[in-house]
Chains A and B, each alone.
Chain A
């Protein structure tokens, strides 16, 4: 039986009548789990928001019919729409850090909906909230009820968000990239909870995502959107394993595959070598004492050979980013030593090391100075190359831009470029001085999936060409599997397992590694039964 049916939906930009979503038709049955797959700009979020009647300003529904639970939304006033949001349709947002109001306690926020839609008294609504918090496996519901959002991690907040939406037992739950901001393990926990809750209440789920691994694990049906138009729809199995359309095939092919390992140069001293590295953050200064500090990296030994790619994986808070920053001497260490080409660079500021090492950041939107043109950004590292004439410098910048596939864009501003193009610029800036050692901190996790594949390929090609060693920090095991020669697994600031990529992926020894691998949303090409939400 159909819960939601959308027919010929068209969403326009109010100012220009350009279509964001065009001629989109789909239906969600009661209790069904539908995934809407698309890259940024595909209109997937706009389509979902149209169902809620919550299009952002500047967009408007320009045609088509949305029928939700037998009600045609075209005939529904804004006031009536409000009574539908909550009990009929609920939404979980992408960014748990900003979707809870920081000034109101968790309990008060959860109870808000109950008071509004069901008119429950304080005691009754408190009891319902506590039950729901326990249901989403929050350890201490009583304390959580009175606590404020900032006291919780992203994963916890997303559970709270989920709990407060599911309290009203909506018939349709719209989840817009609910776990994109979370690490792999937390992602799995939150989604498992979501699916369990939906099954308990008979709720249909509309999951908006760009992650095909998640689609394969949870969804029964999937719908692929591209630039506002539906490309293909069908059962998950059919979409993923026998896609009909070229675009869907490209999406599936863009999933990282295991590549060949580059043979690291054997023998001789390692390029970078770390022994017993410790990084601690001092505790907060109270009136008479100092709080106990946190040690983010606690005794790490690591060798990186020339031209080798070592991947560091782990959940958030495992210390992998801190390790990368410490190895570049960007944050002070509190113990251990770092050697570069056999020289101790731990304490002294070693100019050679600084000039031979580089960093690629996760977020291409904040890593480029908005007031510099692309050419200036890529040219900046060359300031420190002695005796370089202006013509030589310009030539190297042009060559580099060509290498990353952005020839002729030197005069553009960063804000004129897409996320993938920006990340290429960031990579170009890191490589233009031909460094020996590059730390890449989650270099593709902010990008769309087809773009991820391109950037990873580019990175591999550049590495083969320029021969730099790379510390590849990521929580995305699929990307790691594609690029890494060796894998290091970190948990709580320590290395719990390290080995060649094939060893770690095929024969994991440590429990944490096994848990990470099990949680990784990968496509099961062997066709073994993927875990299904229901039915």
Chain B
């Protein structure tokens, strides 16, 4: 019962998010980029549901447009980090030997770096745009996936069903992809859902530093960043994107949990 409630809440939140992002692509109550200095810093009203910002732009419209940008960035980044991290981590943990040593040496060096700094360095090289942001954040989050996957694989490779696969005559690569990798997904799924949140936040941090998606195009991150000077006088400016990020995270986490359980045959009846 409890799990179904979680799934329902998570599903609703994510549906709302996707709905907002899709609608935002075609229609918004106001033009999100139109500056109207006579209507600046207005509190939420029946006309502007979420208020207006320091240039008089409608916050709701900007949130809707920002939703698609933020979510697309976060989703692709997480997918990139998880896919690359799975393959690299599996290779390191399953093959062991010098492959493992080289991969892990590089990986540990990268892990020792704060992810945001790494992303910053990459952004400076590839330039501040959406693709650059995705690449930078993806690279920054690969090492933690590699760590988790390698650890899991180290225990799975000793399982007897992997040995059984070898006895059957399957190649090592087949054993790795067919038997080891699927069983290493659970911890990565957990990591991926929390990573989604980090990426949303990192995107806002980079935008704040002027390295994210360049203004005036709205993302939740750069809206949050831009709202800082007005925190005391116009709190709705930070509350709207902040709440959106928080609710999205909640939705992703709830949905991610039930998705993970659904994907695991052992939990399917739980």
A-to-B contact residues, CB < 8 Å: 328, 330, 351, 354-355, 357-359, 361, 363, 366-371, 380-381, 383-384, 413, 415, 426, 429, 433
Contacts and interface: CB of A to CB of B under 8 A. Distances in A.
B178 to A, nearest CB: 8
B161 A351 contact: no
B183 A330 contact: no
Interface in B130-186: 159-161, 163-170, 179, 182-183
Interface residues of B, number: 17
A369 B163 contact: no
B101 to A, nearest CB: 13
A330 B169 contact: no
Contacts of B163: 330, 359, 361
Interface string B236-270: 00000000000000000000000000001110000
Contacts of B165: 369, 380
A363 B183 CA distance: 18
Nearest to B263: A371
A367 B183 CA distance: 13
B169 A367 contact: no
B265 A366 contact: no
Given A361-B160, A363-B160, A370 B167 contact: no
B168 A380 contact: yes
A413 B165 CA distance: 17
A247 B211 CA distance: 76
Contacts of A383: 168, 170
B161 A368 contact: yes
Contacts of A413: 265-266
Interface of B: 159-161, 163-170, 179, 182-183, 264-266
A10 B170 CA distance: 51
Contacts of B170: 380, 383-384
Given A355-B169, A383-B170, A384-B169, A367 B266 contact: no
A208 to B, nearest CB: 28
Nearest to B185: A371
B159 A366 contact: yes
Nearest to B159: A366
A415 B265 CA distance: 8
Contact of A367 (B164, B166, B265): B164
B31 to A, nearest CB: 50
Given A413-B266, A415-B266, A369 B169 contact: no
The 7 closest A-B pairs by CB, nearest first: A367-B160, A413-B265, A369-B161, A361-B160, A381-B168, A359-B167, A371-B182
Contacts of B179: 369
Nearest to B162: A369
Q: Which one of B160, B165, B170 has the greatest number of beta carbons of chain A within 10 Å?
A: B160
Contacts of A369: 161, 165, 179, 182-183
A382 B249 CA distance: 45
